[in-house]
Amino acid sequence: MKVIPRMMAIAAGLLVAGACLAQGASGFPDRPIRLIVPFAPGGTNDVAGRIASEKMSQRLGQPFVVDNRPGANMVIGCEIAAKAAPDGYTMLIVAAGFSVNPSLRKQLPFDTLRDFAPVGLVGGGPYLMVIHPSIPARTVTEFAAWARAQKGQASYASVGAGSPPHLASELYKLMGKFDMTHVPYKGGGAAMPDLLSGRVSSFFGSITTLKPQTDAGKLRAVAVTTTERSPAMPDVPTFIESGFRGYELNGWYGFVVPAKTPRAIVSRLNAVLRESLNDPDLLKRFAQGGMDPLPGPPEQFSALIRSEMDKWAKVLKAAGIQPE
């Protein structure tokens, strides 16, 4: 009859585990938190991270120090975060390309699933396709015809090889039956000078980054990548409306921390993030940039990362794109 002692031992173990979890978050945070942004300043990833962390800072009582580490489609910033101490004082904001990289690179300096612990989704929204206003086109159909006539001499910008905006352009080229030269940059902000000068002809980016330029007439908006129009730019049609049936691409952004960060700290950060995503000022600023807040538990974000990895692996294989 050793059942009772065993049950007592299990109960004691659970109490100890609970005490450890509580202790793991006790006093957290007591110093500034570093937020690694794996893109150059000015892009949606950067803007979304800054807005959300600002609201989290107000609730946690500690500042967030933004550390921009652009390059290699987020790989540089992700590697730094993966190797950081798992104590909750280093966070990383990732975008949809986080789930694409495992299918594009034979070797990554980190494991996308094992080396990070999801905290929660921050937001999401459509990509906006813009072109230089000197180009005689106002729709994606007209632009495809113009690009076809250039016989591959025109070029388009992206925020990095393999990034969702890059794949958005490649899908558009495939469906539109034309070719263009790909010019990758370290972020939307880095691409802007060449885009505004007309050195590159088109770009897929966030409404947050591009709307000020389209409002000023410096760029021309031609379509959004979601199935429905964006409330932030209701006059801009979707690709589907414009004759590209089946064209759809959604962007998302979320926070992760190094693996082995105490679960209590992850839960604390998630709770504060979800509360921050309901902040009236954040909601207003997100809406102005065409972003929707996506509050949810870490498990929801983890499931999205896995499902996106599976989806992009199939898409890239079907497209014949081999990992480098």
Q: Containing H/E element for 155?
A: strand 155-158
What does the mean pLDDT of the chain come to?
90
Region 74-89: mean pLDDT is 97
CATH 3.30.750.24 at 126-224, yes or no? no
pLDDT value at position 24? 56
- For residue 16, is pLDDT > 60? no
Pairing of strands 155-158, 33-37: unpaired
pLDDT value at position 14? 42
pLDDT value at position 209? 85
Domains 32-124+251-319 and 126-224 alike in fold = yes
User: Hey, what amino acid is at 40?
Assistant: A
> What are the structure tokens assigned to 192, written together?
């802007």
Which residues on neighbouring strands pair with residue 128, listed in sequence order?
A: 205, 224
pTM attached to this predicted model: 0.80
Contact in structure between 38 and 78 (CB atoms under 8 Å): yes
- Whether the CA torsion 312, 316, 318, 319 is positive or negative: it is positive
pLDDT value at position 7? 41
pLDDT tens per residue across span 52-70: 999 999 999 999 999 999 9
d(CA 28, CA 25): 5
What is the CATH architecture of 32-124+251-319? 3-Layer(aba) Sandwich (3.40)
pLDDT value at position 22? 44
- For residue 250, is pLDDT > 60? yes
pLDDT band, residue 165 (cuts 50/70/90): confident
pLDDT tens per residue across span 185-240: 887 888 999 999 999 999 999 898 899 999 999 999 999 999 999 999 999 999 99
**Angle at the Cα of 166 from the Cα atoms of 163 and 172, rounded to 5 degrees:** 140
- For residue 131, is pLDDT > 90? yes
Residue extents of the structural domains in the chain: 32-124+251-319, 126-224
